[in-house]
Amino acid sequence: MGEAGETGDDRFRDPGSRLWRFAQEILVRCPRCAGRAVVVVHPDHREDQRYAVALLTAPHRLSCPGCGHTDEWSPRPMRPGDRDVYFFGGGSVAVPRLTGPDDPFFGLPLWLRRPCCGGRVLWAYNAAHLELLERYVTARLRERHPWTGSGSMLERLPAWMKAAGNRDEVLAAMRVLRARA
């Protein structure tokens, strides 16, 4: 067997990955120079990141190697109407929502995003995320992970990305993104 998720030839087995696993490094467009920047957990807070809530509520840092721009993000206190909240001994904070095509912490446009399939946007947080999506879309036979619980990231992809009729257009957009990664 090859890489995780691969079973050979045209078959793909879903490794059961959750989107938050790819949010440990998010490539974004720098707000200062429009170059490639990265959002990661702040170096002073790199504790145990095995659980989604630890990653999503940890302070984050934006860094642009091109222009040197940096910024800091911290979780904000919960407000009425917040959908996802984390309660802990010191209070409660809003948990950022993992969606695209913007990063969940600073709200910056993702670096890996491209129009696709009639006005939709294909996006990925980083090269590893893009590579898994590409392996999934390329496969002719896709096998579900047996223990995904509420669903893996791949099970939750929009129907237009999964449709065989869109495969060529989606893969062409992915090739453009891979060249940027």
HEC states along 123-142?
A: EECCHHHHHHHHHHHHCCEE
Is there a domain that residue 152 lies in?
A: yes
**Spatial distance between the Cα atoms of 80 and 70, rounded to a whole number of angstroms:** 30
Is there a domain that residue 1 lies in?
A: no
pLDDT range class, residue 144, cuts 50, 70, 90: confident
Is there a domain that residue 101 lies in?
A: yes
Is there a domain that residue 157 lies in?
A: yes
pTM for this one? 0.88
Tokens of 159: 């129907």
Question: Which residues face 63 on adjacent strands?
Answer: 38, 70
Q: Which of 99, 139, 119, 126 is nearest to 40 (CA)?
A: 126
Is there a domain that residue 114 lies in?
A: yes
**Spatial distance between the Cα atoms of 47 and 40, rounded to a whole number of angstroms:** 13
- Percent of the chain topping pLDDT 70: 90
Is there a domain that residue 128 lies in?
A: yes
Q: Per-residue pLDDT tens for 100-143?
A: 899 999 999 999 999 999 999 999 999 999 999 999 999 988 88
Is there a domain that residue 19 lies in?
A: yes
Tokens of 17: 């990955």
Q: How many structural domains comprise the chain?
A: 1
Q: Could you list the residue range(s) of the whole structural domain that residue 145 is in?
A: 6-180
**In the prediction, which pLDDT does 6 show?**
47
What 3-state class would DSSP assign to 53?
Answer: helix
